[in-house]
């Protein structure tokens, strides 16, 4: 049994086999919550106990009475979006017994930005060594070749590293190669004598860090961490890093994913695109009985029902009905529409927390920051 939390703190328990992937679980949750189906839905892995390791309750370090609730976490923990092909049961089994780790079902619009805006994600300054080795190729062409082959370009740039056992941050020049992640002990030198091995990414996962200044004293808010598989609890084994800006952090995290999973990421993207273009009534699940074949699509939005004969209208009606159900079961308050728009557009807006004024400014800033450089 896998427990999955929603952004509202509600928890759902689902049965999952050893082969159940994150994408399959997301599709099940989309159906159960009657949400709009798109490839932005993701299963996010949170480790609240890793966020509680450096006195987030103030300088006194005293923890408030009672356990933290899922609705109001004390701080934002390190988080990682599971890749579509990952086994949910396998990830859950890697958690430390008794640790406050959980899955959260929410949207991650940056999930496939790696294949949508790859040239901005890999700026020329961070792949300069690859450009020098392939002078005849343009920047965009070079990056696309790497993505098509499932390989990762050599990424380099400055990152701030927190020294082990200390709260001191130092700036080093890092290089990501096929053999792992290295940093130079002498400026930007790539001499093997000056390169210090830092992490084996095939045996680690990379986590997005919010509120890094509050949690770990990062110089900027653009922090992330590398968590080796062997580290199951505590912050002692975390490798904490900090970039200068959001573009740099997005580049490093995308490169780590591509380095670890290679061509599998592109296959995940292609499968997501194929599912999105496929009408929902053609999907393999749920299976229909013979009697279902005699059913026709109907619209009950008016005073009386009517049969829908136009195939393109069926999807619109289905989406409107799904949003109507969500509004009945989930939302208690509503605001008058500021302007007239299409029924489908209005229905989509009413599903967002900000439409009903139920989200604070701080939560809004964290939500925007979590999506990185994604427009919108």
Closest by Cα among 192, 233, 229, 227 to 207: 227
Task: Report pLDDT for 35.
Answer: 82
In a domain, 280, yes or no: no
On the question of pLDDT at 57 being above 90, the answer is: no
Task: Report pLDDT for 174.
Answer: 95
Task: Report pLDDT for 273.
Answer: 85
Looking at the structure, do residues 334 and 227 belong to the same domain, yes or no? Answer: no
Task: Report pLDDT for 211.
Answer: 81
On the question of pLDDT at 149 being above 80, the answer is: no
Looking at the structure, do residues 55 and 138 belong to the same domain, yes or no? Answer: no
User: Which among 219, 252, 267 is the end of a domain?
Assistant: 267
- The residue among 83 and 139 whose pLDDT is bigger is 83
Looking at the structure, do residues 192 and 246 belong to the same domain, yes or no? Answer: yes
In a domain, 279, yes or no: no
Do 79 and 207 meet the contact criterion of CB atoms below 8 Å apart? yes
Task: Report pLDDT for 64.
Answer: 40
CATH number of the domain bearing residue 87: 3.10.20.90
How much is the mean pLDDT over the chain? 76
In a domain, 274, yes or no: no
On the question of pLDDT at 361 being above 90, the answer is: no
Task: Report pLDDT for 344.
Answer: 54
Provide the residue range defining the domain that includes 11: 2-108
> Which 3 state secondary structure label does DSSP give 102?
strand
Q: Structural domain tally of the chain?
A: 3
Looking at the structure, do residues 298 and 245 belong to the same domain, yes or no? Answer: no
User: Which among 78, 108, 138 is the end of a domain?
Assistant: 108
Average pLDDT over residues 15-38: 89
Beta pairing class for 239-242 and 180-184: unpaired
In a domain, 44, yes or no: yes
Please provide the DSSP assignment of 241-273 as one string.
Answer: EE-SSHHHHHHHHHHHHHHHHTHHHHHHHHHHH
Under the banding of pLDDT at 50, 70 and 90, the label for residue 342 is low
- The residue among 341 and 32 whose pLDDT is bigger is 32
Average pLDDT over residues 335-364: 57
Q: How far apart are CA 354 and CA 146, in angstroms?
A: 39
- The residue among 104 and 123 whose pLDDT is bigger is 104
Task: Report pLDDT for 190.
Answer: 87
Task: Report pLDDT for 303.
Answer: 65
User: Which among 267, 282, 301 is the end of a domain?
Assistant: 267
Looking at the structure, do residues 20 and 117 belong to the same domain, yes or no? Answer: no
Looking at the structure, do residues 238 and 304 belong to the same domain, yes or no? Answer: no
Looking at the structure, do residues 42 and 168 belong to the same domain, yes or no? Answer: no
Q: How far apart are CA 222 and CA 297, in angstroms?
A: 49
Under the banding of pLDDT at 50, 70 and 90, the label for residue 354 is low
Average pLDDT over residues 93-106: 89
Sign of CA pseudo-dihedral 347, 351, 357, 360: negative
C-alpha dihedral (40, 42, 47, 52), degrees to nearest 10: 30
Looking at the structure, do residues 53 and 148 belong to the same domain, yes or no? Answer: no
Task: Report pLDDT for 71.
Answer: 34
- Give per-residue pLDDT as tens, 171-201: 999 999 888 999 999 998 888 899 999 998 8
In a domain, 276, yes or no: no
- The residue among 164 and 217 whose pLDDT is bigger is 217
In a domain, 87, yes or no: yes
CATH number of the domain bearing residue 241: 2.30.29.30
In a domain, 40, yes or no: yes
Task: Report pLDDT for 289.
Answer: 34
pTM (global) more than 0.75: no
Q: Cite the beta strand spans of the chain per DSSP E.
A: 2-5, 11-14, 41-47, 79-81, 101-107, 155-162, 169-177, 180-184, 195-199, 204-209, 223-228, 239-242, 298-299, 306-307
Task: Report pLDDT for 329.
Answer: 54
Looking at the structure, do residues 35 and 145 belong to the same domain, yes or no? Answer: no
Under the banding of pLDDT at 50, 70 and 90, the label for residue 338 is very low
On the question of pLDDT at 107 being above 70, the answer is: yes
Looking at the structure, do residues 104 and 239 belong to the same domain, yes or no? Answer: no
Which range among 93-107, 152-166, 325-339 has the greatest average pLDDT?
93-107
On the question of pLDDT at 243 being above 70, the answer is: yes
In a domain, 344, yes or no: yes
Looking at the structure, do residues 191 and 215 belong to the same domain, yes or no? Answer: yes
- The residue among 263 and 344 whose pLDDT is bigger is 263
Task: Report pLDDT for 340.
Answer: 46
On the question of pLDDT at 288 being above 80, the answer is: no
On the question of pLDDT at 91 being above 80, the answer is: yes
Average pLDDT over residues 69-89: 74
Looking at the structure, do residues 309 and 335 belong to the same domain, yes or no? Answer: yes
């Amino acid at each position: 049994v896998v427990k999955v939390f929603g952004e509202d703190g509600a928890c759902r328990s689902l049965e999952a086999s050893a082969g159940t992937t994150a994408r399959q679980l997301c599709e099940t949750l989309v159906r159960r919550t009657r949400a709009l189906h798109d490839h932005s839905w993701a299963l996010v892995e949170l480790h609240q106990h890793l966020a509680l390791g450096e006195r987030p309750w103030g300088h006194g370090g005293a923890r408030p009475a009672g356990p933290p609730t899922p609705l109001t976490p004390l701080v934002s923990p390190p988080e990682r979006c599971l890749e579509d092909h990952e086994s949910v049961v396998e990830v859950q089994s890697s958690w430390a017994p008794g640790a406050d780790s959980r899955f959260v079902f929410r949207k991650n619009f940056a999930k496939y930005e790696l294949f949508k805006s790859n040239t901005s994600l890999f700026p020329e300054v961070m792949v300069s060594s690859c450009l020098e080795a392939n002078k005849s190729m343009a920047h965009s062409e070079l990056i696309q070749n790497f993505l098509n082959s499932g390989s990762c370009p050599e990424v380099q740039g400055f990152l701030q590293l927190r020294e082990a056992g200390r709260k001191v941050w130092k700036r080093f020049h890092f290089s990501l190669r096929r053999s792992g992640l290295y940093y130079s002990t002498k400026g930007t030198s790539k001499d093997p004598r000056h390169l210090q091995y830092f992490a084996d990414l095939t045996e680690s996962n990379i986590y997005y860090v919010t509120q890094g200044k509050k949690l770990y004293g990062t110089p900027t808010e653009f922090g992330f961490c590398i968590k080796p598989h062997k580290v199951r609890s505590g912050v002692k084994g975390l490798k904490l890093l900090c970039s200068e800006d959001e573009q740099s952090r997005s580049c490093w995290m995308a490169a780590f994913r591509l380095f670890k999973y290679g061509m599998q990421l592109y296959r995940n993207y292609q499968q997501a695109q194929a599912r999105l273009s496929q009408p929902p009534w053609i999907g393999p699940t749920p299976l229909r009985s013979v009697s279902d074949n005699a059913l026709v699509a109907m619209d009950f939005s008016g005073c009386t029902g009517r049969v829908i004969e136009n195939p393109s209208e069926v999807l619109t009606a289905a989406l409107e009905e799904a949003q109507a159900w969500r509004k009945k079961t989930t939302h208690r308050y509503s605001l008058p529409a500021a302007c007239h728009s299409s029924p489908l557009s209005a229905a989509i807006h009413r599903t967002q927390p900000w439409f009903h004024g139920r989200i604070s400014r701080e939560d809004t800033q964290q939500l925007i920051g979590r999506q990185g450089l994604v427009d919108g």
